[in-house]
Amino acid sequence: MNIPTIAELAAKGETPEVLFWVGCAGSYDDRYKRVTVSFVKILNAVGVKFAVLGTEETCTGDPARRAGNEFLFQMQAMANIQVLDGYGIKKIVTACPHCFNTLKNEYPELGGHYEVIHHSTFLQQLINNGQIKMKEGGSFKGRKITYHDSCYLGRANNIYEAPREVLQALDADLVEMKRCRTTGLCCGAGGAQMFKEPEKGKQDINVVRAEEALNTGATTIAVACPFCMTMMSDGVKNKEKENEVKVKDLAELIAEAQGL
């Protein structure tokens, strides 16, 4: 598999069309690494000239900022901006809505100006302009899929339709949960909750959300965020449905449909 780093391209005097920002979960989390690989396969299949930062990438600082540690966030942001600007990066695609939000909305104030795009929008564009061609009546025909809105795509950045259009292209049966789009229920991981135990309460948020998803009768729960992936998978396991119901990222579904 071809995974060029930006340093390799720079050594050859080349610049990529787009930088794929992998993110910490995409780099280290065993489950989300498979999403990273799926997305790279799609990029290669379509022939998009991309690059990754490899070991030069570091945390955007999102969890630090949301947990209140502004110093740490800005240290991370400044260091990342220096690297990105050093390579003359103009356009970034990422499969993590948290990285996406931080790079897009919070780096400009610190001097980092890039065109930042989430992989759901990127995939939608590839489908719309014909670079990804979906086969009629593929393996997804009739499969019930429900989409779980990531807060950092939906409410945070008003991206509700792009992921749904990607799923519709699969020719699958898209069913909605009761709470969706602007009223979508959080998976419970945002705001740095991913990294700590929840406060005392009656239920776990991810279990409640998983129940909602299971109630749709869908056999696939589509997500577009590494934290939602973890939370929803755990929720489905909690309900002992992991054999019947799969939690998949958009990129994995597209790669699967394309036979990649």
Partner 1 sequence: MAIVQQVVFLLVLVAAGVFVRKRVLRLRDNILLGKKEELTGDKSQRIKNVLLVAFGQRKMFKRPLPAILHLFVYVGFLVINLEVLEFVIDGLAGTHRIFAPFLGSFYGVLMNFFEFLAAAVLIACVLFLLRRNVVRIPRFWSAEMTQWPRTDANLILVTEIILMFAIFSMNAADQVLQTRDHHYVATGSLFFSSFLIPLFQNLSTTTLIITERFAWWFHIIGILGFAIYVTYSKHLHIFLAFFNTYAAKLEPKGHINNMPVVTREVKSMLGLTVAETTPAAAEAPPGRFGAKDINDLSSNLLLSAYSCTECGRCTSECPANLTGKKLSPRKIMMDVRDRMDEVGHSIAAGGKGLDDGKTLLNDYITKEEINACTSCNACVEACPVLINPLEIILELRRYVAMEESGSPAQWNAVFQNIETNFAPWKFSAADRFNWSKVS
Task: State the residues that interact with partner 1 by CB under 8 A.
Answer: 1, 3, 5, 22, 24, 26-28, 33, 36-37, 40, 52, 54-55, 57-59, 61, 63-72, 74-76, 78-79, 101, 105-106, 109-110, 151-152, 155-158, 182-183, 185-186, 188-205, 208
What's the closest the beta carbon of residue 225 comes to partner 1, in angstroms? Answer: 12
Q: In angstroms, what is the minimal distance from the CB of 160 to partner 1?
A: 12
Residue 160's SS3 state is coil
Handedness of CA 175, 179, 184, 185 (dihedral sign): negative
When the beta carbons of 146 and 172 are compared against partner 1, the nearer one is: 146
The least distance separating partner 1 from the CB of residue 131, rounded to whole angstroms, comes to 22
For partner 1, the closer of residues 32 and 122 by Cβ is 32
Query: Which among 194, 178, 204, 256 has a CA at the least distance from the CA of 229?
Result: 194
Instruction: Name the residue nearer to partner 1 (CB basis): 62 or 171.
Output: 62
For the chain, how big is the Rg over CA atoms in Å? 18
Nearer to partner 1, 89 or 127 (CB): 89
For partner 1, the closer CB: 60 or 146: 60
Task: List the structure tokens of 104.
Answer: 């897009």
Smallest gap from Cβ 115 to partner 1, in A, equals 15
Task: At 220, give phi and psi (nearest 5°).
Answer: -130, 130
Asked whether 65 and 106 are in contact (CB, 8 A), the reply is yes
Q: How many other CB atoms are found less than 10 A from the CB of residue 22?
A: 24
Q: Which of 246, 97, 256, 245 is nearest to 171 (CA)?
A: 256
Q: Read off the tokens for 190.
A: 């945002």
Is 63 or 163 the residue whose CB approaches partner 1 more closely? 63
251: left (phi over 0), alpha (psi -120 to 50) or beta: alpha
Shortest Å, Cβ 13 to partner 1: 22
What residue has token string 């239920």?
203
Q: Which two tokens stand for residue 232?
A: 């929803």
> By C-beta, is 112 or 169 nearer to partner 1?
112
Give me the least distance between CB of 130 and partner 1, in Å please: 27
What tokens were used for 149?
């809105």
> Minimum distance from CB of 113 to partner 1 (Å)?
14
